[in-house]
Amino acid sequence: MYFNRLSQIAESEIDGDVVAASSAKLYVSYKNIEVIAGCVDIFLITLSSVLGVLFYQYIWSGESAPIEISLGVGLSQALLYTYVASSRGLYRLPVLLAPSRYLGRIFMTWAVVVLFVAIFLVFLRGETVLPRGAMTAAAVMQISLLLVARWLAEKTSRSLMARGGLAGRRVVTLGEPSELLRLSTAVLFRYFGLTEVARVSLASGSGASAEDVLVDLDRALHEARESHADQFVVALRWNNAALLETVRERLRASPLPVELLPDYTIRSVLGRRLLSTSGPGLTLEIQRAPLTRVEQTIKRTLDIVCSSIGIVLLSPLFVMIAVLIKLDSKGPVIFKQRRNGFNARQFQIYKFRSMTVQEDGDKIVQARRNDRRVTRVGQFLRQSSMDELPQLFNVLKGDMSLVGPRPHALAHDNEYKVLIAKYAFRHHVKPGITGWAQCNGLRGETGQLEQMIERVKLDLWYVNHWSIALDINILLRTCFEVLRNRAY
């Protein structure tokens, strides 16, 4: 049976625990090793083109040959070869680990590219741009250095894997026991670039109930939060449509992307070579992350820059408010309370204390108009929203964002996630100091369920329509909204 043999081969080369280790001095991601291999080939092909001309010019014939043209030709060949080789999967880790099996593909790809560039230049200029001897010398150097580079890539990749210096995306794997049994951690890493941080076997068989499956899925959600996983990987038989739909619906509570692996039957039909060169393209994305990595980077950059500037500029105000709070009432200056953040991970939110109580339990009473628990200084802070300013430190730490759904106390989260459908989707992005709901007038107490439903609806609209322009728009509108004194 194909994948049983493959698992044994992979396990003998690399242990799953070693893959997950991160103590190596040199750390390279699974994807970056492919990029590095491609960059090396570009350098070697270009270098070989120049060296071939120099060898021909000064050692072999003594004739002059233009170095500039050889550099341009070599760079063109290098870029085209790397593009074609990458599209054929020749830079994927399974290929780098076993180059001898793919020498034919590598040679044919290189030969076709060299021939194509040569014919193109002849048609373009009507003659060969370089002497044939120089082109022959360059070609011999190119293929020789490419083969040496593949040998070095194999040694380097195996060394990194053995020392735990090579790791893929952190995933929680879940699926049917029969599928997981044939899917080792080594196979996940080598052929899909995934580092398994947790594995959850879903209840199956005649004795398993729907509730058992939901319990297992909730455990997978918990494992993903605790291990800071990057995505979920689902291993199910593709003909089990009912279970697949249950898994898809339950995992929508998480913001992490979800991918479905080819099942054992499909992997057996594809075979090792096709799986090695096709790789992640064989997986099916059944849920994408709400923000791409580029969008996350842009949003995080805005958060760091703006929160840092805000903390520096407002530091005198922070000191003044702290003094007023201490003079007005007993208790700490900063109020801390547990909240659910991105992917429902708990964090402590910071506020200037505005009340005489510091509730953080299973039951929390929201502040209301003319609430006696609010101090004199606290009333001003709440009306002006200055009590929220310490959350700039939450933003700088990465627990929050400048803009996002406002985080609620844990007691309220537990209450509303049962009463409001899709309430948990608010955790698909980081919570914010302000949000789309707040700049549309929904600030302060939500005494009625309808008010919270409307707030959640606006929060979900923000999650689904995020853009940097929308964040800036919300920040500007919030400034005007605060002046209306709707909070208390």
Q: Let me know: does 33 contact 193? Beta carbons within 8 Å.
A: no
- Whole-number pLDDT of residue 208: 66
Residue type, 295: E
- Whole-number pLDDT of residue 69: 77
Mean pLDDT by 10 residues, the chain (488 residues): 37 41 56 88 91 76 67 89 90 86 90 87 65 80 92 88 79 90 83 86 74 88 88 88 86 87 80 64 78 88 94 94 90 88 89 77 62 81 87 94 89 80 84 88 70 87 89 87 62
At 395-452, the pLDDT tens digits run: 999 999 999 998 888 877 778 887 887 888 888 889 999 989 888 877 766 667 788 8
Query: Cβ atoms within 10 A of the Cβ of 475, count?
Result: 17
* Closest alpha carbon to 94 in 280, 258, 260: 280
At 217-255, the pLDDT tens digits run: 989 998 988 888 888 999 888 888 888 888 888 888 888
Identify the bridge partners of residue 259 per DSSP, sorted by sequence position: 233, 285
What is the maximal distance between C-alpha atoms in the chain? 98
At 336-360, the pLDDT tens digits run: 888 888 888 889 999 998 887 666 6
The C-alpha atoms of residue 363 and residue 83 are separated, in whole angstroms, by 59
| pTM for the model | 0.67
Q: Extract the runs of DSSP E, i.e. beta strands, from 102-255.
A: 166-167, 169-175, 194-201, 231-235
For residue 150, how many C-alpha atoms fall within 13 Å in the half-sphere facing its CB? 23
Residues of CATH 3.40.1360.10 domain(s) within the chain?
166-287
* Closest alpha carbon to 93 in 42, 167, 25: 167
Residue type, 415: E
The C-alpha atoms of residue 442 and residue 454 are separated, in whole angstroms, by 8
For domain 166-287, give its CATH number from 1.10.287.3510, 2.60.40.1120, 3.40.1360.10, 3.20.20.60.
Answer: 3.40.1360.10
